[in-house]
Structure 1
Amino acid sequence: MKSNKVFIEIQFGTAKLEESINAIMSVAQLKKILRMTIQNDAQLTLRFTGKAESRKLNAAYRNKDYATNILTFNYHTPGQALHSDLVICWPIVVQEAKTQGKSIVDHLSHLLVHGALHAQGFDHEDEIEAEAMESLEVAILQKLKIANPYL
């Protein structure tokens, strides 16, 4: 069985964000979830931001003037190692988890899996793509003992 080389850098927009996130999930746990999801060699940057940075990035790259839970930026060339950034807006993640009645750990785990699948080219633009992507998400989350987030 081939072992993938997955390099992960984790960044925090502020020291307060780092403290808040580390109280919920360790860097080792964050990396474990990403490594479980990535199917090939990869270089990933995972960045946690506040609402202002998320809104700025979402406006600049998606023409949507609001903060969003996760953004995925791909830089890789097909046939080469995956190279992507995942940007998570921590206040949105916390807010959504509370609104949806989920634990923050479960919701964050789901978003990490979701973003890492996007980085690998999976999408949910039509029903067939959405079903395929959601099936993979559910299977990976099940390995982490996290319930199906789509129920």
Structure 2
Amino acid sequence: MTMDMARADALEIIVEVEAGDWEATVPDVEELVSKAARKALRQALAVDAGALPDGEGEVSILLSDNAAVRVLNHQYRGKDKPTNVLSFPMLGDEDEDEEFELPEGMERPPYLLGDIILAYETLMTEAAEQNKPVANHLTHLVIHGVLHLLGYDHIEDAEAETMERLETAILADMGIADPYRDGAGPTREDPQSEETTH
């Protein structure tokens, strides 16, 4: 195992089902979400070895519903409607660059990469409208959310192209077709739909 893969694997992925009929709709949904997140972390580190700090870390992925996501979307983005996925990064450049001495005998606590929350009903509607398997669309949105936590964005065209290329490569490696092939996908339909929240 390479050093970069070990760093990706040192990140604990916490998946929680809060609301929605996720488990009935997607068999082994927690395993699928963890696998997608881990794959995104590994591929992002292969592209940029500095994407994650050293040491142990955590990322939280919450499988929820439109009601919860609508509240967060309104509270943090001023948009009173649900969206498919929201990302809340916890690390900034100042956190990654800050090195400090711990008192003797004290272990460094895990860093928090951030939180991702997905809305069940919105994801189901999009998968149906785009004629995509629900598991594939969920996998894509988890990868999309993880890349937001790592600093990727899609506000500018060049940023969107970089992010889409990486998403497409990760999905292809997982045997999932290019979600942008027909002009659909989370960044092309509504550039603000999965905005990273700082």
Structure 2 match to 1:29: 32
Q: TM-score, normalised by structure 1?
A: 0.91
Of 35-44 and 1-10, deviating more is: 35-44
Structure 1 match to 2:90: 75
- 1:133-148 equivalences in 2 (<5 Å): 133-148=163-178
Deviation at 1:116, TM superposition (A): 0.5
- 1:82-101 equivalences in 2 (<5 Å): 83-101=113-131
Between the aligned partners of 2:113 and 2:17, the Cα distance in structure 1 is 19
| Letter matched to residue 112 of structure 1 | V
Q: What percent identity do the matched residue pairs reach?
A: 32
Contact 2:124–2:134 under 8 Å retained in 1: yes
The superposition leaves residues 46-102 of structure 1 with CA deviations (integer Å, 9 ceiling, x where unpaired) of 001111111000000010010100000011243174521000001111110001110
Count of residues in Structure 1 that have an aligned counterpart in Structure 2: 149
Structure 1 match to 2:66: 51
Structure 2 match to 1:8: 13
Runs of 4+ aligned residues of structure 1 deviating over 4 Å after TM superposition are: none
Between the aligned partners of 2:113 and 2:39, the Cα distance in structure 1 is 16
Secondary structure class of the residue paired with 1:67: coil
Structure 1 match to 2:154: 124
Unaligned runs of 5+ in 2: 46-51, 98-110, 182-198
Question: Which of structures 1 and 2 has the bigger CA Rg?
Answer: 2
Secondary structure class of the residue paired with 2:176: coil
Contact 1:25–1:105 under 8 Å retained in 2: no
Structure 1 match to 2:49: none
Between the aligned partners of 2:16 and 2:134, the Cα distance in structure 1 is 19
Contact 2:62–2:117 under 8 Å retained in 1: yes
Q: TM-score, normalised by structure 2?
A: 0.70
Contact 1:49–1:87 under 8 Å retained in 2: yes
Secondary structure class of the residue paired with 2:21: helix
Between the aligned partners of 1:147 and 1:70, the Cα distance in structure 2 is 20
RMSD: 1.7
| Letter matched to residue 20 of structure 1 | A
Of 31-40 and 89-98, deviating more is: 31-40
